Structure 1
Amino acid sequence: MSSAKISLGQFGLVILLAGQLLLQLDFSIINVGLAAISASLKASETELELFVSAYGLAFAICLAMGARLGDNFGRRRIFAIAVVMFGLASLLCGVANSVMFLVAARALQGLAAALMVPQILATIHVTLSGRDHARAVALYGAIGGLAFIVGQVLGGFLISANIAGSGWRSIFLINLPICVLILLCVWRQVPETRGQRNVPVDWSGTITLALLTLSILLPTALGPSLHWSWTCLLGYVPILPLTALLWRIERSKEERGSFPILPPSLVRISSMRFGGLIAIIFFTSWSGFMFVFALTLQSGAGLTPLQSGDALIALGASYFLSAVVVVPRLSDVRREAVLVAGCLIQMVGLCLLIVTLEWVWPNPGLVNLIPATALIGFGQAFIVNCFYRAGLADVPHEHAGSGSAMLATMQQVSLGLGPAILGAVFAETLQHSNLYLTAGTTTIMVELGLMVILLAAAVHRLLSQRGVAPVSAEVEAMIVVPE
């Protein structure tokens, strides 16, 4: 049966979106448990960086593989396998008795997420059309903002409630009944679909990308604790050889008509390079900020997990309202102009946050952080909205799918590296000052500097694109955003 003729029912859509919500919750819920995990397992800031990064990097590296496995072997089947893997990984996280065990279990969770997300998007795209398709995609996009708010509050509540003495472990163990419910329903409610032809998995490209990412992550995360010794710095040596090897592998596959995860021909396109710059600067800063800010509030100011989660409600709510209400009304404005506005709004929020922390320390909380965090969230929605559309502006229509997949991989790699990179700045400053406020504000200032670079690049591109037609509606309609 052709997958295009299969219809996804309302309850089936709910099951798929429940899987997406589960993954998004698990990504945001972690930050409120950092202090509790550190105290329980005696984890250092460096070990926490690895713990947070493991999920995002495994997700990023295996994302393309997950999409191709679903196309080849059936999307419902791979989705169900991913749910089982995610439940098992959550159980392992919940019973972990060491940080390294927890890091490995989080990496398994990231792998499961990479298998699950592409099946959700692809099933929606091939089983729904017209208004039903538009509504499903809108719901999918809105889940990110909703999950951020729910994750912060739910995570704080679960840890503070200490149900049956589980403490931080409850934020992982709560995934188990949800996974069971999804599995019980998915076989009857979600139709099986697959691609029209088998597409080989780019194993050599995936493995090389993994090694390249680790050569950046490990020395950066371990640098402060090893005092940047020569043995630590040697960890950066493989970066250039691995980059050259990855380029050679991907170029060879593309020339043979295969399907590389990072097609070199797309890298030569100006807008794709600009999208990569947005990914490297913004998403690295975003995930790094969330990690550092959580440590500053909990380990520095002594906020409970619940209080720490509540302190970021305004950021999530502002992001959600901006993405749903404000940004859609700017569809006729050039993406680069929206990006400039988003950078400026977020930078004002970051400056206000530094001033606020200096003023209210050591008593930051929900109320006194609202102005700064609301501005940050409001501006972030502008930037995220521009990411794919600005990145795909010069991409030919027939390559829009490959381009969006490549940008998604770059986005997720940046999200995974963020805690290690900004976390290293935080840990290094903390070692020298022994003051969490100084470490937190210094890291925010570094993020502010990175945003200045992105703003300058956006302004330059806006000026250079005068008179050039914006990205077409046809390309925008082909964009698939695996958040």
Structure 2
Amino acid sequence: MNTSSPRPHLSATGLAVLLTGQLLPIIDFSIVNVALASISQTLKVTQTWLGMVVAVYGVAFAVCLAMAGRLGDNFGRRRLFGIGVAVFAVASLLCGLATSIWVLLAARALQGAGAALVVPQTLATIHVCLHGREHSRALGIYGSISGISFVVGQVLGGLLVTANWGGAGWRAVFLINLPICAGVLLLMWRTIPETRVEKAISVDVSGTVILALLTLCLLIPLALGPTMHWPIQLDMLLACVVPLMWLLRRVEINQERRGVSPLLPPALARLPSTRFGALIAAIMFSSWSGFMFASALTLQTGAGLSPAKAGNSYVSLGIAFFAGSLLTPRLVARLGNVPTLLSGCAVQMLGLVTLMATLDYVWPHPGLVNLIPATALIGFGQALIVSCFYRIGLSDVPASQAGAGSAMLATVQQVSFGLGPAVFGGIFSYILRETSGSYLHAMHAALLTELALMSLLCVRGILYHRWQQTLKCAPYNAAQQ
């Protein structure tokens, strides 16, 4: 890493400020879920548009993520961190004041872009400014953020909407960001050192633009198609996906040949482990965000739970996720990455089946207590899968390209987070309409979709594991001959 000398140091206070900024964008993935029913009532929109509220944030986050990392390297990570927090704050204000779905969608996209500016600067600053035990400790805290933020987002969102302070209702889940962002901006200049690379790295603008177009051409038809009966305009958008994928591949190959750092490096995409890691991300994170979207609507609009009770229903999932994250290193050491991943898939699928049975039995009165067994299984299984995601995806990536590999997998991860609510929301809305408003049937359709995707991941994981075992046996067989 080409940084200025002497090496800057990040204090404990600076680390806390960084992680607070990191926490905000991740919380906003989950906090909005419990506000969806209230947003629907206020803005008079269907479940399809609610899915877009979640999706545009994730897509904007994903598309801007890799480029934001390069901008921080070139122009200063603290500076980009501050700009990202400021953009996130302005976007949160616009979300909180939105009076139409179009204003809310535009503000959510801006919020996603601000989040993308914040997140890569956090990990890069930790990597540059800390070393040894401090570095390991900081990474451990950083890694646990997702599990913590999940619980905080769901519970806090439910409490804010239910409390309805000052008549703010769902708007409070966005406005709560303002004082936190203000505190981060005030403290960051004195606690976070500025770092950047000595030699500027090129930004893959063309790759970023094509990826954005590709994602939108996939997102919009999948979200709106099932409820709009697939008009020709959506079919045309979907037809553009394959040509755009081809164009993105050609552009990235040309970037690589010219010595320019591509957004999605083709050399890394050719590695079997990285391709499998991308598949894990596509299935796991789209299923995760889609599940959260569908279950939030089912518990609130379908079962009539208050936002607070709906948010509290996920506490056991978050606790199990955190416990699973702590246990994963031991399981990986004993079983290996892929067997641990497959174990996580099995546990999560058992949880999904248990949830279907539970909803059938307790409907229309689901609650925190009767959902604990199913949600705990789902959370524990998710933790094993997520913890193995980067381990598998980066296992064959050279150390010199670890940053590029991480950025590529993170981009796939965030795109999947954005696509999940659109895909699952489209299926959910279609079944809801076809069954005359049966939220139980719509939720079952979403769970069956997730089961099918997880089954696909299991099959691919078994094939990948067999391929790995074949490679291990090949040198031995050659030696015998």
Normalised by the length of structure 2, the TM-score is: 0.95
Q: CA shift at 1:362, angstroms?
A: 0.2
Task: Note the alpha carbon deviations across 1:292-315, whole angstroms, 9 max, x for none.
Answer: 111111111111100110111110
One of 147, 150, 155 as aligned partner of 1:148: 150
* Pairing of 1:153-302 with structure 2 (within 5 A): 153-302=155-304
* Total equivalences in the alignment: 470
Question: In the alignment, which residue of structure 2 is the partner of 1:319?
Answer: 321
Distance 2:394 2:368 in 1: 38
Q: Does structure 1 conserve the Cα–Cα contact (< 8 Å) formed by 2:331 and 2:340?
A: no
Distance 1:152 1:328 in 2: 29
The partner residue of 1:126 within 121, 125, 128 is 128
The one-letter code matched in structure 2 to 1:152 is: Q
> What residue number does 1:441 align with?
444
Write out per-residue CA displacement over residues 178-204 of structure 1, whole angstroms, 9 at most, x where no aligned residue.
Answer: 111111100001000001310111110
Paired residue secondary structure (1:214)? helix
Could you tell me which runs of 5 or more consecutive residues in structure 2 were left unpaired when the two chains were aligned: 473-481
Q: Distance between the aligned counterparts of 2:238 and 2:272, measured in 1?
A: 28
Deviation at 1:422, TM superposition (A): 1.2
Instruction: Provide the rounded CA distance (Å) in 1 between the counterparts of 2:466 and 2:250.
Output: 34
> What SS does the aligned partner of 2:335 have?
coil
Deviations 1:256-279 (A, max 9, x none): 000111111212111111111111
Report deviation, 1:327.
4.1
Measured in 2, the distance between the counterparts of 1:282 and 1:144 equals 14
Distance 1:3 1:165 in 2: 52
Partner of 1:462: 465
1:40 aligns with 2:79: no
Contact 1:327 1:381 in 2 (8 A): no
Using the alignment, how far apart are the partners of 1:407 and 1:320 within structure 2?
22
Residue 388 of structure 1 is aligned with which of 378, 387, 390?
Answer: 390
More displaced 10-residue stretch of structure 1: 413-422 or 224-233: 224-233
Instruction: Tell me the equivalent position of 1:102.
Output: 104
> Any conservation in 2 of the 1:4–1:126 contact (CA below 8 Å)?
no
- Tell me by how many angstroms 1:468 deviates: 5.1
C-alpha separation in 1, matches of 2:414 and 2:5: 29
- Deviation sequence 1:227-278 (CA, Å, 0-9, x none): 1223322221111111111111111000000011111121211111111111
1:358 to 357, 360, 364: 360
SS in 2 for 1:50: helix
Give the C-alpha shift of residue 3 in structure 1. 5.5
How far does the alpha carbon of each residue in 1:25-66 deviate from its partner, in whole angstroms, 9 at most, with x for none?
A: 222101100000000111111111111001110010000111
The worse-fitting range, judged by mean Cα deviation, of 137-146 and 368-377 is 137-146
Aligned 8 A contact 1:72 1:197 in 2: yes
Q: Could you tell me how far apart the structure 2 residues matched to 1:22 and 1:11 are? A: 17
CA–CA distance in structure 1, aligned partners of residues 470 and 251 of structure 2? 38
Mapped to 2, the partners of 1:67 and 1:231 lie a distance apart of 35
Q: Deviations over 1:387-421 (max 9, x none)?
A: 11111222233222211211111111111100011
Taking only the aligned residue pairs, the percentage that are identical comes to 54
> How far off is 1:127 after superposition?
0.3
CA change 1:198–1:467 in 2 (3 A) is same
Q: Distance in 2 between matches of 1:464 and 1:253?
A: 31
Partner of 2:28: 26
Contact 1:209 1:246 in 2 (8 A): yes
Are the equivalent residues in 2 in contact too, given 1:152–1:312 (CA < 8 A)?
yes
CA distance in 2, matches of 1:125, 1:363: 48
**Residue aligning to 1:137:** 139
Letter in 2 for 1:445: L
Match 1:376 to one of 378, 400, 415? 378
TM-score normalised per structure 1: 0.95
Distance 1:354 1:201, change over 3 A: same
Matched, 1:13 2:20: no
Structure 1 equivalent of residue 60 of structure 2: 58
Matched, 1:452 2:455: yes
